[in-house]
Chain A
Amino acid sequence: MNFLKVTLIIFLIFSFKFVNADEQDKRNQITKNLRCLICQGQSVYDSDSEFANSLKVLVDKKLNEGLSEDQIYKYFKDKYGEWILYEPELNKNTYILWLLPVFIFLIGGAIIAKSFIIKK
């Protein structure tokens, strides 16, 4: 019986640890993708400014409220605009940014493939 109790306690401790780690990971992942608007070139995760610290607290609160990652990004986008996101969404202002590399990659591949075929 004692053995069972100890195993149960160990299991509970470990499972709590995993829950916490998961939440921490998620929070870090989100704050790494948010730009600290008052510090140049730093993410919220990296920064220790008042603004970034408040943002971290708010991300925690939103996660506890059960909001998804996308919902949290949307919340911050509504407040501060697209600039706060390091990974901009695909829309009419950003499609060149997203599609140009793919386009160049495809054309480059085609050129290479073609030159190989010609050589053969």
Chain B
Amino acid sequence: MKKKILPLFMVIVFGFIFIVFYKGLEDSNIYTPDTKIKNKIPIFKTKDFYSGVSLNSSDIFKFDKNYLLNIWSSWCVPCRQEHPLLMELSKESKIIIVGMNYKDNKKNAQSFLKELGNPYEMVLVDLDGTIAIDWGAYGVPESYLIYNNKIIKKFIGPLNQQLINEMKLLVK
């Protein structure tokens, strides 16, 4: 009887390990971040892109208004792609677009906006990329839909027409 218990036990243990690893294989190991988060927006200090005046996050985002915070940079190619969509969206009065210039050279950023237009109500500066991390960003471009100081939805990567439509539905 004793001799039978050990092999049976080993089979059970190996079977269990096999199931754990097999389940692990089914999971994708490519990290997919959450995009639906009802987190409060971070509290941060920044500067205005044009005037250089210091700003607190509470001065920027007011209650009862929809904001789209767009993290962009002049060296980022996908930002160039999404820019016309932002220009179009800026004509809508329901969403206030706030830009955050990420790790950029001021001159280059200025000529980027001159060339493609400025869809932003306000442009903020993040010189060392730490404010973007406060927002939980991975890189540029990234956009956050904000209402009542809460992040309604996070858009990772360049925006496209479908995402803009989705955004408009959420704002309604």
Q: Which residues of A contact B (CB under 8 A)?
A: 37-38, 40, 50-51, 53-55, 57-58, 61, 79-81, 83, 96, 100, 104, 107, 111
Complex-state Cα separation, A100 to B33, whole angstroms = 28
Residue of A51, A79, A104, A107 near B139 (CB, 8 A) is A51
Q: Are B31 and A54 in contact (CB under 8 A)?
A: no
Q: Which residues of B contact A81 (CB under 8 A)?
A: 33-34
The number of inter-chain residue pairs (CB within 8 angstroms) is: 40
A-B contact pairs, 14 of them (CB 8 A): A38-B139, A50-B139, A53-B129, A54-B128, A54-B129, A55-B133, A57-B128, A58-B130, A79-B133, A81-B33, A81-B34, A96-B20, A100-B20, A104-B13
Q: A79-B134, A81-B33 are in contact. List 4 more A-B contacts (CB 8 A).
A: A57-B128, A57-B129, A58-B130, A104-B13
Complex-state Cα separation, A54 to B128, whole angstroms = 6
Q: Are B138 and A54 in contact (CB under 8 A)?
A: no
The minimal Cβ–Cβ distance linking A116 to chain B, given in whole angstroms, is 15
Complex-state Cα separation, A25 to B34, whole angstroms = 32
Residue of B33, B103, B128 near A80 (CB, 8 A) is B33
Q: Closest chain A residue to B20 by CB distance?
A: A96
Q: Which residues of B contact A79 (CB under 8 A)?
A: 133-134, 136
Q: Are A37 and B129 in contact (CB under 8 A)?
A: no
Asked if B169 lies at the interface with its beta carbon under 8 angstroms from chain A, I say no
Q: Which residues of B contact A61 (CB under 8 A)?
A: 130
Asked if B6 lies at the interface with its beta carbon under 8 angstroms from chain A, I say yes
- With contacts A96-B20, A107-B13 taken as known, whether A80 is within 8 angstroms of B136 at the C-beta atoms is yes
Residue of B13, B31, B34, B130 near A37 (CB, 8 A) is B31
Binary contact track B123-145/A, C-beta < 8 Å → 1, others 0: 00000111011101011000000
Q: Closest chain A residue to B34 by CB distance?
A: A81
